[in-house]
Amino acid sequence: MIFNRQLNRQPRWLKLGLIAVWAAILTLGLSDVPGFAQSANEVWQIGTEPTFPPFEMQDEASGELIGFDVELMNALGEAAGRDIEFVSLPFDGLIPALQSNTIDAAISGMTITAERAQTIDFSRPYFEAGLAIAVREGADDIASFEDLEGKRIAVQIGTTGAEQANAVAGASVSTFDNAPLALQELVNGRVDAVVNDLPATLYAVNEANLQGVEIVGELITEEYYGIAIPKNSEVLGEMNIALGQIIEDGTYADIYRKWFVSDPPILPQVAPALSAAVTSSFNWGRLFQNLIQGAGVTLMLTAFSFFFGLIGGSLVAFSLISPFKPLRLLCRIYVDFFRGTPMLVQLFMIYFGLPALF
């Protein structure tokens, strides 16, 4: 009742104005949410970080996306009856984009790891790879992973290579937005080694004519690439069926031979990283530690917002009784705006609507 009387005090044009503003933000915001805007069509929006030859790269002449992953995904789209639309994103932005359902899937030479599988799903493995060490030609002090101790290493941000490098004792690790930049740093002599996926480094050395770099030692890891998909998405099933289909009918092998000039290996149904994780990944101690840490952050944020909310709220309250009419009106709009809509809708708008505005 109180609420109603409050609202009725506002002139009609003000209410209509507020509704119009909300409608505009809603439209803007929702057009960014794939489920809302595209539920009717058959497009898969596929995220990729397109500087990872030979998996994904830009064709120099046409500017188009090409590569093994790109062709594979187009074949998958065909098998599943979907149009494919690629979306370029930073590598460390792919998983957040999947979590917010901004994209339907990501193909980006992404290794299936137990840690990633906690926040996103993976298709069955589609490529066998592993990490290798690259050094400047003739550098004889690094021949294995152990030799990296205390050295300067360049990696691509957010990758399994970065994770391995960070585990090396005493090493100073510099991160780059993409693998070619990390390799260039090696050529320029500013780092001693690059830890990167073998097929990508091989391609850079053999095909892209990266001069003065060689690969040393054995593979550091055995990894499998998977197509990354948001949790609880029906895309997972469709993708796996399509993948099975193109492996079966030879399309996969054709694409593989085109890019790697050899026959594809037989791929496991489940990546070893995931089958091993089932037994070892659940850790109560870690869970408890995370919860305590989270509670601390929540308390801090509460205290912080209480403090500033008190100051802000008092200012608005005083303005509401000020003799200066425009100020009163402005504060009225502000108050009604935030009080008149559910908190969830506000959060939604801030999360999806604001990025759409910029």
Q: How far is the CB of 212 from ligand ARG (least distance, A)?
A: 22
71 binds ligand ARG (CB under 6 A): no
Nearest to ligand ARG of 29, 180 (CB atom): 180
Q: Which is nearer to ligand ARG, 177 or 336 (CB)?
A: 177
Query: Could you tell me if 61 and 67 are in contact, meaning their C-beta atoms sit under 8 angstroms apart?
Result: no
Strand partners, 131: 197
User: Does residue 54 have a cis bond before it (omega within 30 degrees)?
Assistant: yes
When asked if residue 91 is in the footprint of ligand ARG (CB under 6 A), the reply is yes
Alpha helix ranges (H) inside 178-220: 179-187, 198-206
Least Å distance, CB 52 to ligand ARG, is 3
Q: How far, CA to CA in Å, does 254 sit from each of 243, 251, 263?
A: 14, 5, 9
The single-letter code of the amino acid at 291 is: L
To the nearest whole angstrom, how small is the minimum distance from the Cβ of residue 165 to ligand ARG? 12
121 lies in the binding site for ligand ARG (CB under 6 A):
no
Size of the site for ligand ARG (CB under 6 A): 14
Dihedral (CA of 289, 292, 296, 297) sign = positive
Contact string 170-189 vs ligand ARG (x = CB under 6 A): --------xx----------
Among 197, 228, 246, 256, interactor with ligand ARG by CB under 6 A: 197
Nearer to ligand ARG, 73 or 179 (CB): 179
Among 29, 67, 80, 108, binds ligand ARG (CB under 6 A): 108
CB atoms within 10 A of CB 161: 30
Closest distance of CB 109 from ligand ARG, Å:
4
SS3 158: coil
Separation CA 152–CA 244 (nearest Å): 42
Considering the complex, state which of residue 173 and residue 331 has its C-beta at the smaller distance from ligand ARG: 173
Q: Coil, strand, or helix at residue 90? A: coil
Cβ–Cβ < 8 Å for 281, 120: no
Q: Which helix (H) or strand (E) holds 110?
A: none
Q: Among 77, 80, 105, 111, which residue interacts with ligand ARG (rule: CB under 6 A)?
A: 111
Give least dist CB 69 to ligand ARG, A: 8
Q: Are 71 and 255 in contact (CB under 8 A)?
A: yes
Determine if 160 is a binding residue for ligand ARG (CB under 6 A).
Answer: yes
Count of other CB atoms within 10 angstroms of residue 240: 18
What tokens appear for 308 in the block?
């500033």
Number of residues assigned to the chain? 358
Question: Using CB under 6 A as the criterion, what x/- string covers residues 11-50 for binding ligand ARG?
Answer: --------------------------------------x-
Alpha-carbon distances of 128 from 45, 103, 151, 224, 247, rounded to whole Å:
24, 24, 28, 5, 14
Q: How far apart are CA 87 and CA 105, in angstroms?
A: 10
Alpha-carbon span 116 to 323, nearest angstrom = 57
Closer residue to ligand ARG (CB): 102 or 160 = 160
Smaller CB distance to ligand ARG: residue 105 or 179?
179
Q: How far is the CB of 56 from ligand ARG (least distance, A)?
A: 6
Confirm or reject binding of residue 164 to ligand ARG (CB under 6 A).
Answer: no
| Residue in the block written with tokens 């944020």 | 301
Q: Is the Cβ of residue 123 or residue 159 nearer to ligand ARG in the bound state?
A: 159
Nearer to ligand ARG, 178 or 251 (CB): 178
Q: Report the residue number, 54 or 109, with the smaller CB distance to ligand ARG.
A: 109
Span interacting with ligand ARG, options 133-141, 145-153, 156-164, 338-346, rule CB under 6 A? 156-164
Per CB under 6 A, residues contacting ligand ARG are 49, 52, 56, 91, 108-111, 156, 159-160, 178-179, 197
